[in-house]
Amino acid sequence: MQLTKFGHACVRVEKDGRRLVVDPGGLTEPRALDGADAVLVTHEHFDHFSEETLRRAARDNPRLHIWTNSAVAGRLDGLGTRVTAVGEGDAITAAGFDVRVHGAWHAVIHPDIPRVANIGFLVDGALFHPGDALTVPDAPVGTLLLPVHAPWSTVGHLIDYVREVAPQDAYAIHDGALNDIGTAMVGGLLGDRGPGTPTRYHRLDSGTSVTIG
């Protein structure tokens, strides 16, 4: 399958002419949804979910279907059966891709900040997007989309997470707030110069594609 990054936390997956988009939020280029057959949304934060963008995409494409948690689904009222709420343990077929849902909650930012629901998606048993959590699926992962910069994690957390999931490859996401210095620093610690993981670390520029699986 082909993986394309579209800024910050959004990716598009393509196979056999089918397009699946994950987390087209407020920091995502609208073209990420061009030709999309289905959308997955991990949680309600603006950098992962844009109600305006999804409503416009649904208007322009009558075939588009959206799978997400119940909180996000509740904000897409009026789209009827084109929106399906899912939760941990569910298995669905989205745009012809087999998708399993893992996790339930956003990572803790601070005890005084309420947590929101967050689900991760394992696509075709190969690609895992955890949203804003360090969820470990109960299945092997070939390619991990790794949220490398967030107010709820440190690089130490990420190293331990990658070691636990043990994918073959990890691709950076959730990096929209990093400048060039921060990007290089994180990449150095997660890559070959860091303390070591069983995983190859990569970062794609926005709009760049790679073949995985």
CATH code of the domain covering residue 125: 3.60.15.10
Structural domain includes residue 212: no
Residue 53 pLDDT more than 90?
Answer: yes
Dihedral pair phi/psi, residue 115, rounded to 5°: -80, 150
**Which domain, by its residues, includes 6?**
2-203
Categorize the per-residue pLDDT at 198 as very low, low, confident or very high, splitting at 50, 70 and 90: confident
80-119: pLDDT as tens digits: 999 999 999 999 999 999 999 999 999 999 999 999 999 9
User: Could you tell me the strand order of the sheet in which 65-68 lies?
Assistant: 83-85, 65-68, 38-41, 18-22, 11-15, 2-5, 209-211
**Can you give the C-alpha Rg of the chain in angstroms?**
16
10 Å CB burial of residue 123 (0-12, 13-18, 19+) is: buried
Structural domain includes residue 54: yes
Structural domain includes residue 110: yes
Residue 192 pLDDT more than 90?
Answer: no
Q: What's this model's pTM, rounded to 2 decimal places?
A: 0.97
DSSP annotation of 55: H
Categorize the per-residue pLDDT at 196 as very low, low, confident or very high, splitting at 50, 70 and 90: confident
Structural domain includes residue 208: no
Dihedral pair phi/psi, residue 27, rounded to 5°: -105, 10
Structural domain includes residue 99: yes
Structural domain includes residue 40: yes
Structural domain includes residue 47: yes
Structural domain includes residue 72: yes
Rounded Cα–Cα distance for residues 18 and 130 (Å) = 22
Residue 79 pLDDT more than 90?
Answer: yes
What domain count does the chain have? Answer: 1
Q: Give yes or no for a contact between 150 and 178, defined as CB atoms under 8 angstroms apart.
A: no
Rounded Cα–Cα distance for residues 121 and 35 (Å) = 21
Residue 40 pLDDT more than 90?
Answer: yes
Rounded Cα–Cα distance for residues 54 and 46 (Å) = 12
Residue 23 pLDDT more than 90?
Answer: yes
113-160: pLDDT as tens digits: 999 999 999 999 999 999 999 999 999 999 999 999 999 999 999 999
Q: What is the pLDDT, as a whole number, of residue 213?
A: 81
Q: At what angle do helices 180-190 and 155-165 cross, to 10 degrees?
A: 40
Residue 185 pLDDT more than 90?
Answer: yes
